[in-house]
Amino acid sequence: MSPTDVAVQETAASAATHPIVNDLNIQVATVNGSGSQTANMVLFRSIFQMGIPVSGKNLFPSNIAGLPTWYTIRASKDGYVGRKREVDILVAMNIETARDDVMGLESGAMVVYDEPLKLSALRDDLIFYPVPFDTLVAASCPDAKLRRLVRNTIYDGVLAQLLRIDRQQIEAALKRQLGRKVKALSINQAALESGYEYAAEHLTKQDPFVFEPMERTRGKILIDGNAAAALGALMAGVTVVAWYPITPSSSLCETLIDYLRKYRIDSETGKATFAVIQAEDEVAAIGMTIGAGWAGARSMTSTSGPGISLMAEFTGLGYYAEVPAVIFDVQRVGPSTGLPTRTAQGDILSTAVLSHGDTKHLLLLPASVAECYSMATQAFDLAERFQTPVFIMSDLDLGMNTWMSDSFEYPTTPPDRGKLLDADTLARLGDWGRYRDVDGDGIPYRSLPGDGMPAYFCRGSGHDANAQYSERAEDYENNLTRLARKFDTARGAMPAPVIEREGDGPIGVIAYGSTHWAMLESCDQLRQQAGVRPAYFRLRAFPFSSDLGAFIDRCERVYVVEQNRDAQMLALMRMELSPDRLAKLRSVLHFNGLPVDARTITDAILAQEGQALAPVTDAQIA
């Protein structure tokens, strides 16, 4: 018996007495284009169906086939759904990355690997389970041409057996995933079965990781942020959609097209109550959106960073000529082409002031799929209420990954079409001017082509309150001042910030968007490890609520946590906050293209706090 065998035996003994239940992070390393997505979703869904909180993150290349891809599935009995850095279970299917994948593991992790890769020789502090995938797939799938596609399903079977995933649940998940494809289902069932049997007969459990049924996902849905946003647009009554394909936003419009075709064809006439145009580029996409918004349609486009850059001129027109438009920015890593399949919160600053001149835009900051849905609906109301482009700042992590969520709410209010001129209003106003602020809120009344109300000439050039061309200094200044007043009015109508955690010390944290999930977990880590209970303020919109200042006043130090290099949200705060408040702000930044994890935030905050923290006692932790 070698020393390694002794170590493994000890681990096995300890695993039996100290199992780790429903708290593990699985990473599957494959090659993209190999059909691994089905296998991964089956695994993900079966954990979900067992009632265990689960999250999945697809780390994929900007490529169609042949490059490394990783999918991580995190199950967390405590409900944490942010990314976890440490991998507990590696499924190594890719020869290109296998060595690095194994070397990066923490001691004690388990590895299911393709036997010919001979990974067990690399380290002696891991638990290895070799599986002869080629032999198994050859036996279970007679058609050689299809083997490539079902090979990955075998690891589902192996993991199900090793981790005690309910067999009925994994079979149900497979059916759910491939239900309509009868042949695909049957060959995948066979592959699943062969993995299961192989593990049962040949692998002795030595690791401590197990799943046990819970009740924490009952009634919940699984959806990605792009689909959720599409659903929000559908329920908002969007009528004109103009878009140009770009990762990671394409699936937003593609899903929306599916919904529109299913739910928005007039049953009597068979005609569409919507138009979707795949434009020639992002400039045309936003141009169509603004043209349709001017003519009174609820219009939208969806894009990512490079598209946002192209839309700069048009969104300035939308701001200055006061035309509603809804723009989804599913952020990816820049600058330039950057990393198209990686996530970031890197468009915040440039989008807030997108376009030349004194331009400022309304931004919504969804943190969850539920907010992708609700904010999408809300964005159309805000765009019409404030007659301006509204941006929903999603990101790749939120938009393309599948998340658990409570069911979404059916909208209870009709669309807010904002201040549309009608006969009564016209009679009340007497003398209407398109850009006249009659209510003191900076928001004028607008008429639409074909509505029978007085017409006006909409333009991006200088204009007076009556929409006449003007280069007069007072006209320009009055107009810009009114636009600032309108922006200020919007401040109170944007989604309010949320105090996610009440604190009891000097420290506050501010986060927004998909950073939220790691931030929540980090709050718990800070409490457990350092006895720090930070107050957590989650931003949900720009312009900022006045509550932001009040929150900072309550704290001695406030960490603004975001996923970009240049502290972009903090930079926006510099535009709006007084120097004494700014002096309290510190940054925690994460910008490597991967979704931020709690550990990164916790370590960064603790490092900056340094000696300011008192030693922690057990009593404090409890």
Partner 1 sequence: MATTASTPRKKVNRIGLELRPYRGSKTTLCAGCGHNAISERIIDAFFEMGIEPSRVMKLSGIGCSSKSPAYFLGGSHGFNGVHGRMPSIGTGAVIANKQMIAIGVSGDGDSGAIGIGQFVHLMRRNLPIIYIIEDNGCYGLTKGQFSPTADLGSKLKTGVVNDLPPLDMCTLAIELGASFVARSFSGDKKQLTSVLKAALSHRGTAMLDVISPCVTFNDHVGSTKSYAYSKDHDEPLGEVNFIPYFQEIDVEYEAGSTYSVKMHDGSHLLLKKLDADYDPTDRLEATRLLHETRRRGEFATGVLYVEPDKEDFIELLNLVDAPLASLPLEQVRPTERAFAEIMEGLR
Residues 467-526, interacting with partner 1 (CB under 8 A): 468-469
For residue 438 the two structure tokens come to 């009659």
Q: Outline where DSSP puts E strands in 32-126.
A: 54-59, 68-76, 89-92, 110-114
437: amino acid identity, one letter = D
Closest distance to partner 1 from the beta carbon of 239 (Å): 4
Instruction: Report which DSSP code applies to 486.
Output: H
User: Restricting to residues 378-417, which ones interact with partner 1 according to CB under 8 A?
Assistant: 407-408, 410-411, 414-415
The single-letter DSSP state of residue 469 is B
Nearer to partner 1, 349 or 369 (CB): 369
Examine residue 290 and tell whether it contacts partner 1 (CB under 8 A).
Answer: yes
Indicate whether 438 belongs to the interface with partner 1 (CB under 8 A): no
Binding residue (CB under 8 A) for partner 1 from 266, 474, 502, 618: 266
Q: Quick one: 189 or 355, whose CB is closer to partner 1?
A: 355
Cβ proximity to partner 1: between 32 and 405 the closer is 405
Among 172, 203, 257, 458, binds partner 1 (CB under 8 A): 458
Measured from the CB of residue 599, what is the shortest distance to partner 1 in angstroms?
31
Site string for partner 1, 192-221 (x = CB under 8 A): ---------------------------xxx
Torsion angles phi and psi, residue 158, rounded to 5:
-60, -50
- In angstroms, the CA 264 to CA 234 distance is 9
According to the binding rule CB under 8 A, does residue 271 interact with partner 1? yes
Q: Which range of residues in 191-199, 276-284, 329-337, 563-571 is near partner 1 by CB under 8 A?
A: 276-284
447 lies in the binding site for partner 1 (CB under 8 A): yes
Q: Which amino acid is at 224?
A: D
**Residue type at position 548:** L
Question: Does 139 participate in binding partner 1 (rule CB under 8 A)?
Answer: no
User: Do residues 371 and 498 lie in contact, with contact meaning Cβ atoms separated by under 8 Å?
Assistant: no
Q: Please count the residues of the chain.
A: 622
Give 260 or 507: the residue with its C-beta nearer to partner 1. 260
**Nearer to partner 1 (CB atom), residue 300 or residue 333:** 300
User: Any idea what the Cα angle at residue 84 is, between residues 303 and 495, rounded to 5°?
Assistant: 45
**Tokens 């420290």 label which residue?**
507
Q: What is the DSSP letter of 464?
A: -
Closest CA to 540 of 601, 499, 585: 499
Dist. CA 371–CA 232, nearest whole Å: 9
Closest CB to partner 1 among residues 186, 273? 273
- Count of alpha carbons within 13 angstroms of residue 177, beta-carbon side: 25
359 binds partner 1 (CB under 8 A): no
Nearer to partner 1, 239 or 545 (CB): 239
Cβ-contact 158, 198 below 8 angstroms: yes
Residue from 39, 42, 192, 317 binding partner 1 (CB under 8 A)? 317
Whole-number Å distance between alpha carbons of 205 and 163:
9
Mark residue 268 as left, alpha or beta (left: phi above 0; alpha: psi -120 to 50; beta: remaining): alpha
Regarding 357 and contact with partner 1 (CB under 8 A), the answer is no
User: Per CB under 8 A, does 185 bind partner 1?
Assistant: no
Q: Work out the number of other CB atoms within 10 angstroms of the CB of residue 251.
A: 20
Of 143 and 281, CB closest to partner 1: 281
Give the HSE-up count for residue 335: Cα atoms under 13 Å, Cβ half-sphere: 4
Token pair in block for residue 183: 């042949």
Q: How far is CA 79 from the centre of its chain?
A: 17
Least CB distance from residue 436 to partner 1, whole Å?
Answer: 17
Pick the stretch among 86-94, 291-299, 501-509, 598-606 that binds partner 1 (CB under 8 A).
Answer: 291-299
Which is closer to partner 1, CB of 136 or CB of 260? 260
CB atoms within 10 A of CB 582: 14
| 102, 119, 192, 288: residue in contact with partner 1 (rule CB under 8 A) | 288
Among 116, 142, 335, 452, binds partner 1 (CB under 8 A): 452
The answer to whether residues 35 and 152 touch, using CB atoms and an 8 Å cutoff, is: yes
Question: What's the min distance (Å) between Cβ of 35 and partner 1?
Answer: 23
Nearer to partner 1, 167 or 220 (CB): 220
Minimum CB separation of residue 335 from partner 1 in Å reads: 24
Closer residue to partner 1 (CB): 287 or 305 = 287
| Contact status: 141 vs partner 1 (CB under 8 A) | no
CB-based burial, 409-437: b 16+ in 10 Å, e otherwise:
eebeeeeebbbebeeeebeeeeebbbbbb
Q: How far is the CB of 415 from partner 1 (least distance, A)?
A: 7
Site for partner 1 in 219-258 (CB under 8 A): 219-223, 231, 234-240, 242
The sign of the CA dihedral 43, 48, 52, 54 is positive
Region near partner 1 per CB under 8 A, out of 94-102, 125-133, 327-335, 461-469: 461-469
Q: Which stretch binds partner 1 (CB under 8 A): 26-34, 181-189, 442-450, 612-620?
A: 442-450
Say how far apart CA 62 and CA 122 lie, in whole Å.
Answer: 30
Is residue 183 a contact point for partner 1 (CB under 8 A)?
A: no
CB of 108 to partner 1, least distance (A): 35
> From CA 590, how far away is CA 580, in angstroms rounded?
26
Distances (CA, A) of 397 to 60, 200, 331, 516, 517: 11, 36, 9, 12, 11
Q: How far is the CB of 611 from partner 1 (least distance, A)?
A: 49
Among the residue ranges 16-24, 448-456, 564-572, 573-581, the one whose residues contact partner 1 (CB under 8 A)? 448-456
Question: To the nearest whole angstrom, how small is the minimum distance from the Cβ of residue 235 to partner 1?
Answer: 6
Binding residue (CB under 8 A) for partner 1 from 139, 200, 272, 496: 272
State the first-to-last Cα distance of the chain, in angstroms, to the nearest integer: 44
